[in-house]
Structure 1
Amino acid sequence: MATFAAISAAFRTLEHTAPGLGGRWAERLWFTVPDSGARADVTPTAPGRPLELRLQGGLLVGQHFGEGPVVYLMHGWGGRRAHLGAFVDPLVAAGFSVIAVDATSHGDSGPGEAGPGRSTILEFADLLAALSAAVGPAHAVVAHSIGCMATSVALQREELSAGRLVFIGPMADIRPYTREFARRVGFGERIRTRMVRRIEQRVSMDLAYFDVPSMADRMSAPPPPLLLIHDRQDKETRPSDSEDIAAAWPDSQLTLTSGFGHRRILSAPEVVREAVSFITTPAPSPIPSPAAPGHDVSAR
């Protein structure tokens, strides 16, 4: 297998000699699912029942915990359902039914239309739509990273109904991250623009469609109340993404944490408690003022 240094060197050469070929390679890397590993897994003590779904010919694997109003857990890119395992026991104890499923080519699930080892945001959204069709509307959805964007897409397409949303470390807009991807991998604008064009061809829409702040205005029904939680030291998604979403979402509140990063935030007790409290609160949460967007939670 080529080293990262060799891949970057090859991209630098292709940037000048064959940007079209570089764009095809970059697009393939963009949709390739990284190894999620098990470092961030949390195993619930609540007994879970196996859950399987067929989606686009692929088998999706998950678990169903507890009884009561349904809460869906949606992991992020390169994640798996066990990354959100810390939410299961508190939600079950609060009287909820919790459903967590691995997206296509993630965790224990098989591939979808994108093929083995690959996936797209639309396949994440299709999973949520399939869950909603099979199980019913969600009392709440707890989502992480790109899973937040997929949740917003499913809501916008009216394929998912949810009473409340918790977005942890969300990505607000794909477009800036194509530049970050180019910087990390080592190619320039000639390859990046071709990569973006190929991405848009694959999903059959402009990347502007996935801009989460603007989705609140495009939804036919009022968007559900939203709690955003983002860590200042998140190196995968920017805390400003949550600020942008909070500014555009009519009923939202934002908590900024410190010291948890992008994945450890999912098992932080303070974060889990706040999310569960938000989900169990009957009345809508107040909209924070621009001068006081939220409060802080620090890692101990």
Structure 2
Amino acid sequence: MAVSAFKKSTIVRTKFAVLRAGFRATELIAPRYGARLATSLWFKTPPSPAPSPLPPGGFAFEVTAMDGVVRGTYWGDGPVVYLVHGWGGRGDQFAEFVEPLRSTGHRVVMFDALSHGLSGPGPSGAAHAHGVEFGRALDAVAARFGPARAIVSHSMGAVPALLAMRDGWVGADRLVMISPMVELATYFDRFGEQVGFGPRIRRGMDAETKRRTGYPVDEFALARLASDLEPLPPTLVIHDRRDRRTSYEQSAAIVETWPEATLISTDGLGHLRILRAADVVHASVRHVLADVADSDNRADAIA
């Protein structure tokens, strides 16, 4: 077992070293090719996590988005709450949210984005996707179930949810963003640092992303999207201070700029366990149900 793990680790390190060397070379001699490769790697979806058990009483559904099949499950009747997972995730990661929302008189709708979970591929092809495909999946689901009382999103799912609202594909009275990815450009920069490409490929990634999605990279940013939404619905942001995947500091900063936003901070729940924390679920449900008291940029904490 230990030998096998060592061999696997060695293979991964070797492949990563080759990748870095390749990007250093293409930065100098073929930056357009390097940009296409980097963008393809970025938009490649990771393997979906193992499915989580779903609460009883749900009904499966299918809709079509961008010629791809989007599969999901819904529970209950009443005002609709959409649950939008993040990159590499799946709808059932919100399993803990279903019964608390259903029991308060809501229809709860979760789905897998294109090339995620049980859904089929979209225009990007098998095992590839991007934020617009996420947003169009939400658009297709909302066309089936109607306007939202609230949209609850996790991680990267926050950006396409807000994009869908900004572009008129879906409306919502309230928003909950858990561990949101605040802007895509920051993660492109980090990706370049990790795999070793420079400014020529980095600029090319921006151009390639616009070609593939139809949107410039700076459109995939919560601040930019929110500035076009007047007014922005009351928004609850919940983020763990020790999240290693998305930036707590960026979430805290953006809440300061939104007039009807509240930040709830957690400590030690990380990026994924936060979705299973009872206090996080209850805070989200309270926000969906009613105005958040004293929400003028107040910061609460969940232990």
Q: Same fold (TM over 0.5)?
A: yes
Deviations 1:107-129 (A, max 9, x none): 00001111111111111111121
Residue in 2 aligned with 1:171?
A: 181
2:62 aligned counterpart, secondary structure: strand
Is the aligned partner of 1:46 residue 2:41?
A: no
Q: Alpha carbon RMSD of aligned pairs, Å?
A: 1.7
Of 226, 248, 252 in structure 2, the residue corresponding to residue 216 of structure 1 is 226
CA distance in 2, matches of 1:244, 1:153: 20
Match of 2:7 in 1: none
For residue 270 of structure 1, what is the amino acid of its counterpart?
Answer: D
Contact 2:78 2:107 in 1 (8 A): yes
8 Å CA contact 1:229–1:256 kept in 2: the answer is yes
SS in 2 for 1:62: strand
Per-residue deviation, 1:208: 1.7
| Aligned-partner Cα distance in 2 for 1:28–1:255 | 35
In 2, Cα distance between equivalents of 1:93 and 1:205: 39
What residue in structure 2 maps to residue 296 of structure 1?
Answer: 301
Distance 1:278 1:20, change over 3 A: same
3-state SS of paired residue (1:98): strand
The answer to whether structure 1 residue 258 and structure 2 residue 267 are counterparts is yes
Counterpart of 2:4 in structure 1 is none
What's the counterpart of residue 46 of structure 2? 34
- For the Cα contact (< 8 Å) 2:55–2:95, is it kept in 1? no
8 A contact 2:55–2:99 mirrored in 1: yes
User: Displacement, 1:259?
Assistant: 0.6
**Cα distance in structure 2, aligned partners of 1:109 and 1:227:** 28
1:7-58 C-alpha deviation (Å, 9 max, x unpaired): 22322332333322211110111111111222xx542333210110111111
2:172 corresponds to: 162
- Could you tell me how far apart the structure 2 residues matched to 1:72 and 1:259 are? 26
Q: Which residue of 234, 244, 251 maps to 2:243?
A: 234
Q: Which moved more, 1:16-25 or 1:52-61?
A: 16-25
- Aligned twin of 2:33: 21
Q: What is the SS of the residue equivalent to 2:24?
A: helix
Partner of 2:5: none
- SS of 1:255 mapped into structure 2: strand
Aligned length: 291
Kindly report which structure 2 residues correspond to 1:1-300, keeping only aligned pairs within 5 A, or say none: 3-38=15-50, 41-219=51-229, 221-281=230-290, 283=291, 285-289=293-297, 293-298=298-303
- What SS class does the counterpart of residue 261 from structure 1 fall into? coil
Work out whether residues 179 and 246 of structure 2, in 8 Å CA contact, stay in contact via their aligned partners in 1.
Answer: yes
**Residue 285 of structure 1: how far off its partner (Å):** 4.4
CA distance in 2, matches of 1:187, 1:60: 35
The residue matched to 1:286 in structure 2 has which SS?
A: coil
- TM-score of the superposed pair, with normalisation by structure 2: 0.90
Q: Quick one: distance in 2 between partners of 1:16 and 1:214?
A: 33
Amino acid of the structure 2 residue aligned with 1:28: S
State the secondary structure of the residue aligned to 1:67.
coil
The sequence identity of aligned pairs, in percent, is 38
> What SS does the corresponding residue of 1:52 show, helix, strand or coil?
strand
Displacement of 1:244: 3.0
Name the SS for the 1:265 alignment partner. helix
Q: Give the counterpart letter for 1:225 in structure 2.
A: P
Amino acid at match of 1:18: A
User: In the aligned structure 1, how far is the partner of 2:280 from the partner of 2:52?
Assistant: 14
In structure 1, how many angstroms separate the alpha carbons of the residues matched to 2:293 and 2:223? 19
Q: TM-score, normalised by structure 1?
A: 0.91
